[in-house]
Every structure is written in structure tokens, then in C-alpha cells.
Chains A and B, each alone.
Chain A
Amino acid sequence: MVYISQSVEVRGLRKVFRSGVVAVDNLSFNVGRGEIYGLIGPNGSGKTTTLRIIATLLKPTAGSVFVEGVDVVKQPLEARRLIGYLPEEAGAYRDLTGYDFIKLMLSIRFHGPELEARIDEAISISGLEEFIEKPIKTYSKGMKRILALSVVLAQHPRVLVLDEPTSGLDVEKSIFVRDLIKKYRSREEVAVIVSSHNMLEVETLCDRVGVLWKGRLVAEGEPGYLKKTFSASNLEEVFLKAVGSHVL
């Protein structure tokens, strides 16, 4: 596939925490409009750190990230308008109802009749109509995750940054979430960056995959290309081979 222009450009990204841990090391990749890019890698390989930098929550030690031409370090507020970010363990305010939570989060970007429309959209995306007036503390983990994702999607961001969107979800809900992402991508022509430990999911969902190891990109390409290069029958094998060759 050929993408006309890049939506997200990550250039020479490096993040060293105050503790001295190098979480991301000279990382570069692009994501085009309408493309779903998967970030995979072992625990602690720097996926969340990378996504947090893109979402303007962490500042890079070196390197740059541009989102639709906006520098996320220099113009964080502009960048946040373009990005919809689902954090790794996104929860919700326990004491609020689902409805109030959706309203609170959406009222930051929208007002008046548009706000009402977005709230309705978020509720219908979530499929949680029956529970929407109930306090979030009565929700299951999967319901909370879907609630947060619905808020992110109803914001109609230009770039979706999703940190393990299906972690902890059952099979049915995982498929539901994957379908939401795909539908949203093709409707809005947005760039999607998604991290995951589920190789099956990455294989079916992502157009391109980057394999991270100790903050470095050790392999990148379409799932089919990666399988060929590593002469593997599935992405799980690719993962083991890509990471394994570096552990030696």
C-alpha cells in the first residue's frame, strides 16, 4: 500500500528517565492517514513511553514527533486537539455515572448541541445504553475500557493512539473493539497507532507493525512481509525471532 502523506512522524526519539532507564532509544517511524500501525514488543520495551510522548504526556529527551505537521513538544495543546489517546489502564471516575463521565470528557472539546450529539454518539459506540446512568464503580473492567474508548472515538480525533486497547477484554469484546477501530479508521481516514501483546490481533488489525526491543525498533513492515523475512508462520514467531536475535 502507498500512503499519500504521513500523519504521524516520529524522528530519532529518545527517552531517558531520571532513574537512568533508557526507555526509548533512537526510534523513528511514520504512520500514514488511514493506516493502522501496531507497536509490539516485550514488557518494558518502551511502547507505553512512546505513546505517552506522542500524546504529549511525557517530554522526549531527544528527537521529535509531528502529528499532522504539529510538533507535539512545541505545540502540545494543538497536538492534543488532533489526538485521541487511550491510556494503558484507562479507568474512569468511580463516583460518576457513565453518562456523566462521557459528558465531562467531551465537554472539554464540545459545547451546546454539538456536545449533545457527541454524547449520544459515544453512548451508541459503547453499546452501554442500559448501564449509562449507573455509577462506574458498578462496571466491569471491560465496560470501563469500552466506555473510555467510546469517549476517545466520539472526539473524532485525526490520530488515534491506543495503548493495549483490548487488554483484559474477553474474546467478544476484543472483536467488538477491533471492529470499532477498523470502522473508525476507514470512515475518518485517520492514522491509528496501537500497542498490543496479542499477536493474532496485530496480524488481523494492523497494516504495518513495528517490533520494539529495549526502546529500539528491531523490525518493521507489513505482517506478511515480516513473516516472509523471518520465515515464520505467524507474528508470534516473528516476535520471538526478532527479539531473540537481539538477546543473543
Chain B
Amino acid sequence: MSFKPLFEREIKAVLKNPGFLITLILIPLFYISLGSVMNIGVRSAVSQVSGYIGVVDRDDTPLSHLFVYYLNLTLDGRVSYANGTGELGSYSTIVVIPRGFQEMALNNSANLSTLTRINSLSLVSLGAIPPLALQGSFNDALRYALASFTLGKKIEIGNASLNTSIQLVYQGRVLDYTSVNTFVGYGILSTFIIGIMMSFTAGFATSASAMEKAEKAFELLLSQPVGRSRIVLAKIAASVVAAFIVGLVFFASLFVSVMHAAGFPGGQALPSGGAGGLGRPQVDLGGAVAFTAVTVFLGSLISGSIGVLIGGVVSDERTAGILVTPIVMILFGFTIIAEFIGVSLDAPTAVLSGLTVTPLPLLLSVSNIVGDYSFFYLALSLSIVELAILIGVAIKLYNSEIVITGLHLRKKSPPAYSS
């Protein structure tokens, strides 16, 4: 019987909460934009797969001609001759048949290299590059060509296969697929780590600050002769430490589960084993790991400051909890966006990455791949400036009386007797 009034009170408390309303507006905005972003990522990946394939035949032997003929048959006529790799603009991928192809093929050690234009360095587009899907067709075409070429002779072609070295062309630079894949995979994993850590920290910092007010020990603390900046820094530092502990447990568990499932997210094995000697294989993961640690720290400090700010402004835990939700959503949103469409080296991306921190490792990976660090440094300095501003604002807030009175979003009704 008494359930209804209780329920009504709880519902009203949630509905009247400004944080709840903000979340309500943010969720659709967020997912609609996320949807279109994913769409962009998938569309650019699809355009890579379905394009035409050009062949540069440097061997120009009967076997290479047969190979191209059968490749065209297996690929429904999407294959045509190109004059050189410079014509990549008209094809999604160019297949280069090297000199000596025929001889090597007859010894079952043929090589091919492919060159693919790629618009973004994201997992979606890397996973969708044509050479990965074409490997089967290459092998089929080679077997047909060998069969046709050696007609009448007995030759073992059943498991004839090609070594394909896959190269990507991104922003006019030729890159080795293996190292790109490792870098991007690592960058995406780190981006995810930072997204998680930042959400944890924001949550901890907010609830700790709001709880202190609810426990009514806050005014006693603030009236003590201690600089408010110390109070603020202590709160931020504590939430970063707490987030690291939870993060450690989280990732240890994740690691164990991934090991069980046997698949490092970024480390998809290449169809062919031996592409390591080509392109730019110098994968400096040690530096990347060190940098990820720094970014996780920077990101946690930033989200910790945001949490302390929110906790300082609101006067109850309920509002605090509801207000922190959109922030966590935004952090994760950028993580997901970065994973779908990748990051590119331009000023808007650098600014967004710097402000949200999460895509920084991916930006570093891309900078590493392309060899241009200017946008990464721009983003990194923005993050540091942002952190300084957030801490400054938090200290200012704790030095102001808002931290005592709370920020009233709605107009306070005047006291009953005072009119």
C-alpha cells in the first residue's frame, strides 16, 4: 500500500535532478553522432574492399600473364593492368608482380607485393584492406596459372602459395602493414585503457568529494588553517591512486581473459608469415608503453580534477553521480570514435585528442607511423594546459564559497516568513 508514495518520491528526486536532464539530452546527441561516425568508418572501409585492382607486371613472362588472367577471372573482372604504382589513384590496390616471379613460382617461392591506399589508420580500415581478403584469390590464381603453364607435365601445385608483402599508402607515404598494424593495435588498446582509467578516476573523485559534504565534516575541514589547494590536490591524487589500483585489477583480469581467448586485440597475424624484412619494421613498443603510462597518468589527473570540480559544485551524492555520467560517456565516446575512424594528423583532431586525452596514444602511433610528431606535440601540450587550467579552476572553486553553498541551478524558493 505504501509503495506508491515512496516510489513517487524517488522518481521525482531523479526527474528533478539537473544532472539527469543533462544526461537525457546528451545520450541521444552522443549516440546519433557516434552512429554517423561509425558509418563513416565502415563506409570508407567498404570502399577499400570493393574497388578495382591494378596489376604492375614487372616479370612479363607467360606465367605472370596467366596469373593475371586467372586473378581477373576469380575476381569477376575487377583486375586490369596499370602502368606503374603511380596509378594508385585509380585503383584501391595495386599488385606488383616482381621480376623473377615465374622462376620463383616454379620453385614454389613466389613473392608478390601489394600497395593499398588507406584513408584512416583505424582497426576497421586496417582489417578491411583488400590484400587480406585477396590472399585466397592470389593463391588460387597462382595454382590455375601453374596448372595451365605446366600442362602435360606432372608438377605439385596443390599447396603452391604466394608470399605477399602488404604495403599501405597513407597520406602519400608507403608504410609496412605489419608495423602499422602493431602500432595502431597498440594505440587502440592504450586508448581503451585510458578511457577506462579516466572514467574510474572521474567517478571516484566526484563521489569522494560529494560524500565528504554529505558526512558534514567538510566545513570543519575547510575552516582549518590549510591551503585549499592542498585539499584539492590531495583529493585528485587520491582518486588517481584509487583508479590505478582498480585499473590494475581490471586490466590484469582482462589480460587473463584475453590470454584464454588467445587473441591480442591488435596483433592479428598476417596471412603470410614473412613480411618483416620490408617497409619500416622498427616497432618501438618500449617507448610507446612508457608513453602510455604517462598518458594514463595525465588522463587520470584531468578526469580526477573534473571529478573534484563536480563534487565541489554539487551538494549531494545523487546529483554528483548523475552529473558524472555524461562525462564518462563523453570519454568513452571518444575512445570508440577513435577506434572506428582512427585519428588523422590535422589541427582539429589534435585539439580534440588533446582535450579528451583518450585518443592520444593512437595519435602517437599515427605520428610514429607517418614520422610527423607536430600534431601529437600540439595535442600533448593542450592536455597539459587543460590539466593546469582544471586544477587552477578547482582550487579557485574550493577557495570560493560555492563549495559551501553549492551551485543552485534552479532558483531557490525564498524562506517562508521573509515576505
Expressed in whole angstroms, the minimum distance between the Cβ of A173 and any Cβ of chain B is: 18
Partner of A56, one of B220, B223, B405, B412: B223
CB pair B227–A91 under 8 Å, yes or no, is no
Expressed in whole angstroms, the minimum distance between the Cβ of B409 and any Cβ of chain A is: 12
CB pair B223–A93 under 8 Å, yes or no, is no
In the complex, chain B residues whose CB is within 8 Å of the CB of A44: 415, 417-418
Query: B413: nearest residue on chain A (CB-CB)?
Result: A19
Given contacts A17-B405, A57-B404, contact A85 B415 (CB under 8 A): no
Expressed in whole angstroms, the minimum distance between the Cβ of A76 and any Cβ of chain B is: 8
In the complex, chain B residues whose CB is within 8 Å of the CB of A80: 223-226
Which residue of B217, B222, B401 has the most chain A CB atoms within 10 A of its CB atom?
A: B217
In the complex, chain B residues whose CB is within 8 Å of the CB of A57: 219, 222-223, 401, 404
CB pair A21–B418 under 8 Å, yes or no, is yes
CB pair A92–B217 under 8 Å, yes or no, is yes
Q: Give bound CA distance, A91 to B222, whole Å.
A: 13
CB pair B217–A108 under 8 Å, yes or no, is no
In the complex, chain B residues whose CB is within 8 Å of the CB of A55: 219, 223
Q: Does B212 contact A (CB under 8 A)?
A: yes
Q: Give bound CA distance, A19 to B418, whole Å.
A: 13
Q: Does A185 contact B (CB under 8 A)?
A: no
Q: Give bound CA distance, A87 to B415, whole Å.
A: 21
Q: Give bound CA distance, A104 to B215, whole Å.
A: 15
Q: Does B260 contact A (CB under 8 A)?
A: no
In the complex, chain B residues whose CB is within 8 Å of the CB of A101: 217
Q: Does B221 contact A (CB under 8 A)?
A: yes
Residues of B contacting A: mostly: loop
Partner of A85, one of B215, B217, B223, B405: B223
Q: Give bound CA distance, A240 to B167, whole Å.
A: 91
Expressed in whole angstroms, the minimum distance between the Cβ of B11 and any Cβ of chain A is: 26
Q: Does A118 contact B (CB under 8 A)?
A: no
Given contacts A57-B401, A58-B404, contact A19 B411 (CB under 8 A): yes
Residues of A contacting B: mostly: loop
Mask for A56-99, Cβ within 8 A of B = 1, else 0?
A: 11110000000000000000011011010111111111100000
In the complex, chain A residues whose CB is within 8 Å of the CB of B408: 18-19
Mask for A23-59, Cβ within 8 A of B = 1, else 0?
A: 0000000000000000000101000000010011111
Q: Give bound CA distance, A93 to B214, whole Å.
A: 9
Q: Give bound CA distance, A210 to B22, whole Å.
A: 46
Expressed in whole angstroms, the minimum distance between the Cβ of A39 and any Cβ of chain B is: 17
Query: A92: nearest residue on chain B (CB-CB)?
Result: B217
CB pair A105–B405 under 8 Å, yes or no, is no
Mask for B385-419, Cβ within 8 A of A = 1, else 0?
A: 00000000000000011001100100110110110
Query: A87: nearest residue on chain B (CB-CB)?
Result: B219
Expressed in whole angstroms, the minimum distance between the Cβ of A201 and any Cβ of chain B is: 22
Expressed in whole angstroms, the minimum distance between the Cβ of B389 and any Cβ of chain A is: 23
Query: A144: nearest residue on chain B (CB-CB)?
Result: B216
Given contacts A19-B412, A91-B217, contact A81 B223 (CB under 8 A): no
Q: Give bound CA distance, A92 to B220, whole Å.
A: 9
Expressed in whole angstroms, the minimum distance between the Cβ of A162 and any Cβ of chain B is: 12
Q: Does A13 contact B (CB under 8 A)?
A: no
Q: Give bound CA distance, A18 to B226, whole Å.
A: 27
Q: Count CB-based A-B contacts (< 8 Å).
A: 78
- Name 18 A/B residue pairs within 8 A (Cβ), A-sorted: A17-B405, A19-B408, A19-B411, A20-B414, A57-B219, A57-B401, A58-B405, A77-B227, A91-B215, A91-B217, A92-B217, A92-B220, A93-B215, A93-B217, A94-B215, A105-B220, A105-B224, A148-B220
In the complex, chain A residues whose CB is within 8 Å of the CB of B216: 87, 89-92
Q: Does A111 contact B (CB under 8 A)?
A: no
Q: Give bound CA distance, A56 to B216, whole Å.
A: 17
Q: A87-B219, A88-B219 are in contact. List 18 more A-B contacts (CB 8 A).
A: A18-B408, A21-B412, A21-B414, A55-B223, A56-B223, A57-B219, A57-B401, A77-B225, A78-B225, A80-B223, A80-B226, A83-B223, A92-B220, A94-B215, A101-B217, A105-B224, A109-B224, A148-B220
Q: Does A151 contact B (CB under 8 A)?
A: yes
Q: Does A208 contact B (CB under 8 A)?
A: no
Mask for B187-229, Cβ within 8 A of A = 1, else 0?
A: 0000000000000000000000000100111011111111100
Q: Give bound CA distance, A91 to B212, whole Å.
A: 10
Partner of A105, one of B221, B400, B411, B417: B221
In the complex, chain A residues whose CB is within 8 Å of the CB of B415: 21, 44
CB pair A214–B418 under 8 Å, yes or no, is yes
Which residue of B215, B221, B226, B404 has the most chain A CB atoms within 10 A of its CB atom?
A: B215
Query: B412: nearest residue on chain A (CB-CB)?
Result: A19
Which residue of B221, B225, B401, B412 has the most chain A CB atoms within 10 A of its CB atom?
A: B225
Q: Give bound CA distance, A214 to B417, whole Å.
A: 10
In the complex, chain A residues whose CB is within 8 Å of the CB of B215: 91-94
Mask for A198-226, Cβ within 8 A of B = 1, else 0?
A: 00000000000000001000000000000
In the complex, chain A residues whose CB is within 8 Å of the CB of B400: 59
